[in-house]
A = this chain, B = another copy of it.
């Protein structure tokens, strides 16, 4: 299915929601209610993205979370990576011994390129885009990625 985990899905929903009022801070409970997940789950997700500095946490009585940057400065790639680790299509790499006949798996490098391409796509979409009811097709269609792969 080539799918993102449910947590990641929730994560983007949460951050997209927060992106609509970037200045405001929300408690985990508020966020949980809005997105429709348990408070513990929302809390867990917020902690994960906080550790990667996508949101800023405020402790104490009227604490909560708030986006750490402007919505158009946070890309989906960052969110996905915060939730699932480095974006990679296959874990082919580690286990040696694959492709016994050849001196190394020929397709490996190709998967890496593909992973980069997908990362670029994800990188081209910001939370601001996601927060819009209907995303600008150009944002995902064209390869106008802001960051070029190294």
Residues on A facing B (Cβ under 8 Å):
1-4, 6, 8-9, 12-13, 16-17, 33-36, 76, 80, 84-92, 97-101, 105-107, 109-111, 113-114, 116-118, 121-122, 125, 129-135, 137, 140-143
- If A35-B98, A117-B140 are given as contacts, then 10 extra A-B residue pairs at C-beta distance below 8 Å, sorted by A number, are A1-B84, A2-B88, A6-B91, A9-B91, A13-B98, A16-B107, A106-B132, A107-B130, A110-B135, A113-B140
**Chain B residues with Cβ under 8 A from A110's Cβ?**
125, 129-130, 134-135, 140
Which residue of B2, B84, B100 contacts A36 across the interface (Cβ within 8 Å)?
B100
Q: List the number of copies, as a whole number.
A: 2
Q: How far is the CA of A97 from the CA of B38 in the complex (A)?
A: 13
A142 to B142, CA, bound (A): 10
Whether the pair B129, A121 counts as a contact (CB closer than 8 A) is no
A2: contacting residue among B12, B16, B84, B111, CB under 8 A: B84
Q: A4-B2, A16-B107, A34-B99 in contact; A90/B9 too (CB < 8 A)? A: yes
Q: Contact: A114 with B106, CB < 8 Å?
A: no
Do A114 and B140 touch across chains, with their CB atoms under 8 A apart? yes
Residues of B within 8 A of A143 (CB): 142-143
